Amino acid sequence: MRELLMVRYGEIYLKGLNRPYFLKALVNRVKEAAKPFGGKVWLHDARVFISDMNDTQSCLERVCKVFGVHSVCPAIEMEKDDIDAIGKMAAEMMKDVSGTFKVESRRADKRYPLTSPQLNAKIGECVLQANEDHLKVDVHAPQHVLSVEIRDQAYLYCKVYPAVGGMPVGTGGKAALLLSGGIDSPVAGYMIAKRGVQLVAVHYHSFPYTSEFAKQKVLDLAKILSEYCCGLKVYVVPFTEIQMEIHEKCPEDYTTLIMRRYMMRIAEKIAEKEGSLALITGESVGQVASQTMEALASTNSVVSMPVFRPLIGFDKIDIIDYAQKIGTYETSSLPYEDCCTVFTPKHPATKPKAEKIKEGEDKLDQDTLIQTAVDNAEIVIL
């Protein structure tokens, strides 16, 4: 008999002949998550198991953040042939709960001599006899469910912790996330990473107009994302020179849009360097002046890569709810300036004209500014 964590997956079941590829990726991600806790991880009979942890609860919480994991159950592994011992352990597991319960059995081993209904009755009887003062059976709407899985061994568990779901990171390609210190972009990155996409983050830092506190805030957000992504590389791009050039030489009402166009160009350069196939932003239609349909079309036009905007139709309150759910909202709300707030025009253009944009950008040494920014980017590995 031993205690372990049983890790269950969901969507991977649907992958048919490609399932082994996704399962291998999932096991690797779970191994990375369990490594700090000394956990031994293996795949067997449609389950991922973790044993020998030095901190079971912390390991459980960490594994629940691994994309591809549907749920995690703290379980007891026992010899399946000793039904009396299984019943005794089941009774022990239910001694501290009260109310109604049922036993739910599943036989992956169809050669097992007892059927699932017979298992339910036998184990339920053991539980009830040992705990009749505070438990009673309700098979339709129980307050507690004791699950028993018969595989090569018997596995008993009475708690199921929901996890993030999705697909294992790395199975969906790679993309570059334009990561600011705001609420939106971390949520956008999370949503795309959940589909198995490996992220590389690009942040624009305008020192001394934005402080080291603002930079650290973004790295803290990246750290939160890295727990879901099993690590994250962040490019911190010096952006002050570009913003100064735009502020001094371009039409005031177009400075924000031209700045966004430069951000996209730089992000694409870094994405190509990293082998990424797309860009990700946290933009939502109409949220600010640079996110009108015309402005979005203008920023799209300067890159050849696809631009993923998973929040494009979200209300702000929806994005805030999501940020609170994934744990980024509190950090995003810290009152440190962002490069997007530097030199903000009073009346930014919402319906930009291509000729006016060209007029402003023709005054800038575009290639030199972009290459200098990319070459001087600081790389932080989380």
**Tens digits of residue pLDDT in 94-124:** 999 999 999 999 998 888 999 999 999 999 9
What is the arrangement of strands in the sheet containing 378-381, beginning at the earlier edge strand?
Answer: 307-308, 279-280, 174-178, 198-205, 233-238, 378-381
Per the DSSP assignment, residues forming a β-bridge with 234 are 201, 380
What would the mean pLDDT of 175-186 be, rounded to a whole number? 95
Q: Tokens for 371?
A: 């290459």
Give the pLDDT of residue 214.
87
Closest among 260, 240, 242 to 350, alpha carbons compared: 260
Give the pLDDT of residue 295.
87
Distances (CA, A) of 46 to 20, 24, 27, 43, 126: 11, 12, 11, 7, 28
**pLDDT grade for 343, boundaries at 50, 70 and 90:** low
Give the pLDDT of residue 345.
66
pTM metric for this prediction: 0.89
Q: Tokens for 139?
A: 């098979």
Q: Do the Cβ atoms of 198 and 43 come closer than 8 Å?
A: no
What would the mean pLDDT of 232-248 be, rounded to a whole number? 91
**pLDDT grade for 285, boundaries at 50, 70 and 90:** confident
Give the pLDDT of residue 207.
82
**pLDDT grade for 288, boundaries at 50, 70 and 90:** confident
Residues 6+ apart with CB under 8 A from 329: 183, 320, 323
The Cα–Cα gap between 250 and 373 comes to 19
What would the mean pLDDT of 299-321 be, rounded to a whole number? 95
Give percent of the chain with pLDDT exceeding 90: 74
Distances (CA, A) of 154 to 35, 55, 86, 304, 318: 26, 23, 8, 54, 43
| pLDDT one-digit tens code per residue, 50-98 | 999 999 999 999 999 999 999 999 999 999 999 999 999 999 999 999 9
Residue 18, judged by CB atoms within 10 A of its CB (0-12, 13-18, 19+), counts as: exposed
Is the pLDDT at 140 greater than 90? The verdict is yes
Element (H, E) at 247: helix 240-249
Is the pLDDT at 243 greater than 80? The verdict is yes
Rounded mean pLDDT of the chain?
92
Per the DSSP assignment, residues forming a β-bridge with 279 are 176, 307
What would the mean pLDDT of 198-218 be, rounded to a whole number? 89
Q: Tokens for 290?
A: 């640079």
Q: Tokens for 249?
A: 């030489």
Give the pLDDT of residue 15.
87
Give the pLDDT of residue 290.
73
How many other C-beta atoms can be found within 10 angstroms of the C-beta atom of residue 136?
A: 13
Give the pLDDT of residue 341.
61
Q: Give the SS3 label for residue 335.
A: coil
Closest among 157, 163, 160, 162 to 123, alpha carbons compared: 157
